[in-house]
Every structure is written in structure tokens, then in C-alpha cells.
Amino acid sequence: MKVLLDLVQRHKSGVPVGIYSVCSAHPLVLQAALRVGLENDAPVLIEATSNQVNQDGGYTGMTPADFRRFVESIAADVGFPLRRLLLGGDHLGPNCWQGEPAEQAMAKSAVLIEQYVTAGFRKIHLDCSMSCAGDPVPLPDATVAERAALLCGVAEQAWRQAGGEAPVYIVGTEVPVPGGAHEELDALAVTSSAAAQTTIAVHRAAFAAAGLDEAWSRVVGLVVQPGVEFDHNKVIDYLPDAATELSRFIESQQGLVFEAHSTDYQTEANLKSLVRDHFAILKVGPGVTFALRETLWALADIEREWLGADASSDFKNVVLTVMKQQPEYWHKYYCDAERERYDLQYSLSDRMRYYWPHPEIQRAQAALFANLERDVPPLALLSQYLPDQYQAIRDGRLRNLPGDILNEGVAKVLRQYMHASGASAPTLESTQ
């Protein structure tokens, strides 16, 4: 975590640098993230979310220890040095157990935190902003802070038993819903500087009351709402003028920067502005899996055009059939029956990301790749469906292989974050 602490110190000294956090468990997304890190000789921060990875396996089936081994195996395959790999836990708290009484949910949250820290995760987002069964809605700031301090105490104890670097923490009460807004958005209210000041004050007091003053010195980020979000069909773009007061406020807070959630689909210029305005930690998740889906959809279209329907993998229909047969990950989000097929494929909330590990989808993807490797598609189809990758192939910077093409589809999104964070990226040519 010295990398992150040094980065925050540089930012606070006036250098507009930041870091982006990849919140995904998809192996191809993680592979692309690590390759972009290699291109730039930069650290890579990968975070698991509490509903993704937890003591019960989450929707990935992985515990925190499993996830660490999973990421490190991908790093080994890519040749990415582990000393530059940072692991974090996102929304760690009662997120998965909101339907249970607070005492029960917090007991499970303590197990969650302990397992993350013991497994080697050292960037810990303490998120107790959600109400549990019987709690008032919204939860008072003081209660959020008290619960965060309780979990910080668990994390500190787990770290001292496990050894290694001390954890760093992210706190906040105005935390966007994981994975983007569930409803249609028109505009967003930016967190006021007064609200941010209150959040810091109540957390500092709660940490002090719990005897965690030393741990408070390792709180590096505050989650606020900078006015960025996305729903199913549109993106709320960052407006620097609306966040001027908030941006100036954090300049006076020693050792603290903002962490911006739901930055998916922001333009590279917006991302640069966010970093400049002290939102130095940028979170991205659905935006990269959306790029993955876009590229896979294009490859499926290329396959069908090139080989014909009878010889193709029927990849798209396999994915959509699985989603309709197992609607648990999307039925609460896509409520317009007439638009259901559209939303399943193209919603920016990208509920499809939950389905990629399904065995039937994996088999169809393997068939898609095998078909396009055996019968290499012509450049004309690549130009039609994947013009960026077509140009890279024409320039000799990319191979005409489906795995490479898919990796590049994700990587081009991540490079926007790399550039915005203050790292200059060499061309693809230098990485071949």
C-alpha cells in the first residue's frame, strides 16, 4: 500500500495524479487490466465487491482467499509482477445482508472484513451506509461511522495477526449504489462541502472513540457524489463547475482525496477533470464488462456473416437464453417487458456480467473462438464490426485472433483511465 500512500501524498502536493480501480472478476477483464499495467510500467488496483466475493462465495463462488489466488494466477500468465498488484475490497459491510437485523448483519460483515484482510487485501472500503432490517432510512451519519469504526477494528486485528503491510481505508456516507442507478436519472446533486466535512468529523470521532487514531492516519479516501452516474440508457457527465466547492474543500484535508464511484462511461476528458479536481481514485466495473460484451457481440456477428448461421456458435442466443432461464440477476432491474430483449443486451448497467461464468455460455464462447481461429475472418468484416481493431491489425499492432481482439476491446477502455490517472501509455507496437 506504500504505492497508494505515496500517490496520495504526490496528489496532495499538487501533482494531478490518480489511480483507477478495476472492479471485476472476469478473467479477460483482469488480463486486459494487467496488460495495460505492463504497457505503462504502472501498478494495477483490482477490487472485489462484497456481493461478488465473500465468505459464502458471492456470485463468483469465490472467497477472498480464492479471489487472490485467481488474480495472482492471471498475473503469472501475463507476466505481471506481484509487487505492483494492489488488491482491494469494495463495499465491505452489510451490503449482502441488508434484509437481516443490524446486529446479525454486522456480525457477518466482521467475518467478511477479517477474511479479506487475512487474504492480503489491503485497500479496504468500509461501507456501512446501507440500512439493515429495523434501521431508519436513511441511516444517520453517526451510525454509519460507528459501524465503520467497528469493522475497522476487526480489520486492524486481522492485519496484526496476518502481518504484512498495514491496510488503508476508504470511508463515506454518500455512497452510490454498486453497479449504477436502478432507476432513470435526470440529474444528480453533488455532495456539499458541509456534508463532506460532517462525514469526516463523525468518522474521525468514531475512530477515536474506538481507539483507532493510528488507523485513522491510514484513511486515504472519502466517497462522495461528484455528480457522475449512469442508469440503463444514459450517462450523467461530470460537470467541474458543479463540484468546485467540494473540490476546494478536500484541499484542506490532510492525507485525504476523494474516491469516485460509478465513473463508468465518462469520457477521457471527464476522467482527467475528475482527477484534477481531487477525485484521485476512479472506480470502474460495468463499463469494462460492457466493452467486453460489445466486442463479443461483434465477433458473433462476424462469425455469422462469415460462416453462416448453421456453422456458427449461435453465441448471442445462447447467452440470452441462459439469462431468460435464470433471471435472478436482472428481473428487478429490467421491468419493461417490451424492452426486455434490448435491456438484456444493451443496458449500461450490464447485468449480463453476472452470467459469463455459466458453463453453457463458456462452451458457446469457446466454440465462437475456435470457429474464428480455424476460419480467420476477412478484414472487410473486421472493418465493418470492429474498426478500431481492424486498424490495429492493418498497422501490425494486433493479431487477427479472437482472444487478442477481445482483449483489445477491453484494454482501450482501461487506457482512458490510465491516461486520465496521469500515466502516459506507449503504443501497442511497443508491447508486441
- pLDDT tens by residue, 156-207: 999 999 999 999 999 998 876 655 555 566 778 999 999 999 999 999 999 9
Task: State how far the alpha carbon of 67 is from the alpha carbons of 59, 82, 88, 120, 289, in Å.
Answer: 12, 14, 11, 10, 18
302: phi then psi, degrees, rounded to nearest 5: -60, -45
Q: Decide if 207 is inside a domain.
A: yes
C-alpha cell at 252: 484542506
C-alpha cell at 271: 476522467
88: phi then psi, degrees, rounded to nearest 5: -130, 160
Q: Decide if 140 is inside a domain.
A: yes
Q: Decide if 417 is inside a domain.
A: no
Q: Decide if 261 is inside a domain.
A: yes
Same domain, 242 and 97: yes
Predicted local distance difference test score (pLDDT) of residue 424: 47
Task: State how far the alpha carbon of 138 is from the alpha carbons of 141, 200, 221, in Å.
Answer: 9, 18, 22
Predicted local distance difference test score (pLDDT) of residue 112: 98
C-alpha cell at 207: 475512530
pLDDT confidence tier of residue 432, bands split at 50, 70 and 90: very low
163: phi then psi, degrees, rounded to nearest 5: 80, -175
Same domain, 228 and 295: no
Same domain, 192 and 143: yes
Q: Decide if 367 is inside a domain.
A: yes
Q: At what angle do helices 315-325 and 286-307 cross, to 10 degrees?
A: 130
Q: Choose one of 218, 253, 285: the last residue of a domain.
A: 285
- Cell 495524479 belongs to residue: 17
Q: Decide if 15 is inside a domain.
A: yes
- Residue length of the chain: 432
Same domain, 366 and 246: no
Q: At what angle do helices 359-374 and 315-325 cross, to 10 degrees?
A: 180
Q: Choose one of 232, 251, 285: the last residue of a domain.
A: 285
Same domain, 270 and 299: no
**431 pLDDT higher than 50:** no
Residue 300, domain CATH? 1.10.400.20
Same domain, 187 and 269: yes
pLDDT confidence tier of residue 82, bands split at 50, 70 and 90: very high
Predicted local distance difference test score (pLDDT) of residue 429: 37
Classify residue 287 by burial, with Cβ atoms within 10 Å: 0-12, 13-18, 19+. Answer: buried
> Which letter does DSSP use for residue 97 in this model?
G
**143 pLDDT higher than 80:** yes
Tell me the C-alpha distance between 25 and 80, whole Å: 17
Mean pLDDT calculated for residue range 354-378: 97
Quick check: helix, strand or coil at residue 90?
strand
261 CB neighbour count, 10 Å cutoff: 32
Task: Collect all residues with Cβ–Cβ distance below 8 Å to 195 and sequence separation of at least 6.
Answer: 173, 174, 224
Quick check: helix, strand or coil at residue 237?
coil
Q: Where are the beta strands (DSSP E) in 300-432?
A: none
According to DSSP, the residues that pair with 22 across neighbouring strands are 46, 284
Pairing mode, strands 229-230 and 235-236: antiparallel
Q: Choose one of 262, 285, 308: the last residue of a domain.
A: 285
Q: Decide if 418 is inside a domain.
A: no
Q: Decide if 148 is inside a domain.
A: yes
Mean pLDDT calculated for residue range 362-374: 98
Query: What is the Cα Rg of the chain in Å?
Result: 22
Domain residues for the domain of 333 are 289-412+424-431
Same domain, 328 and 257: no
Tell me the C-alpha distance between 259 and 278, whole Å: 9
Same domain, 356 and 257: no
**430 pLDDT higher than 60:** no
Do 67 and 54 touch, CB atoms closer than 8 A? no
Task: State how far the alpha carbon of 79 is from the alpha carbons of 23, 82, 179, in Å.
Answer: 21, 9, 30
Same domain, 254 and 299: no
Number of domains in the chain: 2
Predicted local distance difference test score (pLDDT) of residue 184: 65
C-alpha cell at 84: 505492483
Angle at 402 between CA 399 and CA 408, to 5 degrees: 65
Same domain, 180 and 213: yes
Tell me the C-alpha distance between 31 and 85, whole Å: 12
Share of the chain residues as helix, strand and coil, in percent rounded to the nearest 5: 55, 10, 35
For 1-34, how does the pLDDT look when each residue is reduced to its tens digit (9 = 90+)? 889 999 999 999 999 999 999 999 999 999 999 9
* CA neighbor of 257 nearest in space, from 2, 418, 19: 19
pLDDT confidence tier of residue 379, bands split at 50, 70 and 90: very high
187 CB neighbour count, 10 Å cutoff: 9
**406 pLDDT higher than 60:** yes
**92 pLDDT higher than 80:** yes
Same domain, 250 and 381: no
Mean pLDDT estimate for the chain: 95
Cα 243 to its chain centre, rounded Å, is 23
Same domain, 122 and 136: yes
Pairing mode, strands 19-22 and 229-230: unpaired
Q: At what angle do helices 27-40 and 64-78 cross, to 10 degrees?
A: 50
Predicted local distance difference test score (pLDDT) of residue 106: 98
Residue 10, domain CATH? 3.20.20.70
For 230-288, how does the pLDDT look when each residue is reduced to its tens digit (9 = 90+)? 999 999 999 999 999 999 999 999 999 999 999 999 999 999 999 999 999 999 999 99
